[in-house]
Every structure is written in C-alpha cells, then in structure tokens.
C-alpha cells in the first residue's frame, strides 16, 4: 500500500512530499539524490550509496523502480 505522498508523486513527479515511515517515499528520496545520480553516471554503486540503502532499509531495485516511475517509464 502506498501513502498519499507516493500517490501524489505518481500523478505529478514534481510532488515534493515525503514520509519517513513510508518505504516508497524513502526510495523516491534516494532516486532524487546526488548519490543515485552519481552511481548512474559512473555505472556502479558507491559505498556511500550502499550505506544510504542500508540506513533506509531499501534496495537498489526499489530506488531504480522509483526513478523510472518518476521519469514516466515502466519499472
């Protein structure tokens, strides 16, 4: 189940609301982060990004899927 902020972000990728207790929001937040951007640019996962994933308790796959949804692509 997704939260109201995730639903709003699905309708409008510019939605900037996040909830700390929502796994989807944490994935969206990392998808918008410089850490994710840099990993995508260089083609490998940095230790800082891996640490952020572990801290948030989410997977790289969840972040990639959130990024693709926000760009209007399919996961």
What's the whole-model pTM score? 0.83
Give residue 1's pLDDT band: very low, low, confident or very high (50, 70, 90). very low
Neighbouring residues of 13: CB distance < 8 A, sequence distance ≥ 6: 70, 71, 72
pLDDT of residue 53: 97
- List the structure tokens of 64: 């990639």
Tens of pLDDT, residue by residue over 7-38, are 998 888 888 899 989 999 999 999 999 999 99
13: three-class secondary structure by DSSP: coil
User: What tokens appear for 5 in the block?
Assistant: 């902020």
* Rounded-to-integer distance, Cα 34 and Cα 42, Å: 12
- pLDDT of 58 higher than 50: yes
């Amino acid at each position: 189940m997704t939260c109201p902020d995730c639903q709003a972000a699905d309708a409008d990728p510019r939605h900037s609301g996040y909830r700390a207790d929502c796994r989807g929001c944490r994935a969206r937040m990392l998808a918008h982060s410089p850490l994710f951007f840099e990993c995508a640019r260089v083609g490998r996962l940095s230790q800082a990004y891996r640490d952020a994933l572990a801290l948030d308790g989410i997977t790289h796959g969840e972040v990639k899927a959130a990024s693709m949804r926000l760009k209007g692509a399919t996961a």
